[in-house]
Structure 1
């Protein structure tokens, strides 16, 4: 099996073992691995490069990409699209949109584009990259766009939730710092987690709208999109990044040492390596070969997403706004502008 696989946030807790799994089980694939800081001065990038170095002849390159800059996203998409067109890179087989941001200890922050940072990185930038690169997927093989979900997108399902997620009537509020980042009573954790949950709700709803358009386009019907909740990752670096001290203590002294015992009552609690294997096989493994692999997954199993995420009218309104936020046009995407509008919408 040949082709290219892009992984964003490739030096993350789940991504590094995913890269190792790909190089072990699918060595003929070409990996384009994006990180915010591509230098080895970054300890996590250095770890990623160490993993790659263990595989002689690995077809893997590390690229700098800051998803907090849409200019950088579009520039990287131009680079990949040109590389595929010129034969430098094989056509795409999968885009694994793994990169992530949250901040539970401060008010929301704006990106260079003026959008709320969590929402841009987790939703707008990942959607932009997918829409820009659909035309670079292999036309003769199954293709997969993998977005990352979370049980946080479903109100009441995550223990960190204080303020339920929801798509507002005015969707622009999701990207506006003054609304998305406003903190009532200094509750940074509550508002920060809501921003994160809203970004995951948005990417799940967007996934459904994207699949409708892929199904209707005969040149893209071999490509499908999925949104995967990888589970509760006891060893994730996310639990130690922009989080309250209490959460870091719980991870170190409860979640990690007691994971086997805790998993008896919570089967979603697992290691990043286990989740990585599921993600890779959904993206490029035997399980990915059928075009019916689409929709919402929990680990390797098909699952139900929240009722709001399945509201087709909200999905379509979110599609239109996402295309606008991400600066997707007829000139830079095969689904440019508002894309193909499926019958009934």
Structure 2
């Protein structure tokens, strides 16, 4: 990685902002018990889809929080960025693990109409167009207020380190946070200053 111009880019989405998704039945949010991020309570059959979208929405600010905390810890030499590629109706996320009727609806009705829908809602690029269009669409968007809570960044960071088992696997000292987390980002830690 280039020590002067290196950057870490991650993707998020505005579904983490309560009320932004038309499919939202339960608002996304950071749970009081951080263990529920990895092992949420069991869903009842009638709430499974709604809770699934809640978990999806809840996962998106975790990306932002990770990037904010990583940026705070890096401070120099590298830049971290989180971006929103837009609502990708033709992505794998909208075809796997969703009710069968939704997959059929997406494949045979919405995806063929994407060119028309884009004129009404510019945040609906196809997956192949997202890499070009999201830069212009999302340049001035910000995360939910919750995603700026620094105490939640730290709680998520500490839990991620514990869940990953990096301390045990690699024998790092407790103060060696930056090298541990960059290792999980698949960066070679020898490049660090």
Pair in the same fold by TM > 0.5: yes
Residue aligned with 1:258, SS: helix
Structure 1 segments unaligned to the other structure (5+ residues): 1-136, 216-220, 280-296, 340-345
- Aligned mates of 2:136, 2:61 — CA distance in 1: 14
Q: Provide closer, same or farther for how the CA distance between residues 267 and 277 of structure 1 changes in structure 2, counting only shifts above 3 A.
A: closer
1:325 maps to what in 2?
163
- Aligned mates of 2:129, 2:77 — CA distance in 1: 27
More strand by share: 1
TM-score computed with the length of structure 2 as normaliser: 0.79
- Identify the structure with bigger relative contact order (alpha carbons < 8 Å, sequence gap 6+): 2
Alignment equivalent of 2:60, drawn from 200, 217, 223:
200
After TM superposition, the structure 1 stretch with the greater mean CA deviation from structure 2, 161-170 or 253-262, is 253-262
CA contact (8 A) 1:320 1:338 kept: no
CA contact (8 A) 2:10 2:81 kept: yes
Structure 2 segments unaligned to the other structure (5+ residues): 183-193
How big is each residue's C-alpha offset from its partner over 1:232-266, in whole Å with a ceiling of 9 and x where there is no partner? 11322222111112321321233212112212221
Residue aligned with 1:226, SS: strand
1:224 aligns with 2:70: no
Alignment equivalent of 1:148, drawn from 11, 17, 41:
11
2:72 maps to what in 1?
212
More helix by share: 2
Write out aligned runs for 1:110-189 (5 A): 137-139=1-3, 141-176=4-39, 180-189=40-49
TM-score computed with the length of structure 1 as normaliser: 0.46
- Aligned mates of 1:338, 1:146 — CA distance in 2: 15
Residue aligned with 1:201, SS: helix
Runs of 4+ in 1 over 4 A off after TM superposition: 297-300, 336-339
How big is each residue's C-alpha offset from its partner over 1:17-64, in whole Å with a ceiling of 9 and x where there is no partner? xxxxxxxxxxxxxxxxxxxxxxxxxxxxxxxxxxxxxxxxxxxxxxxx
Alignment equivalent of 1:250, drawn from 105, 113, 118:
105
> Paired residues, what number?
177
1:130 maps to what in 2?
none
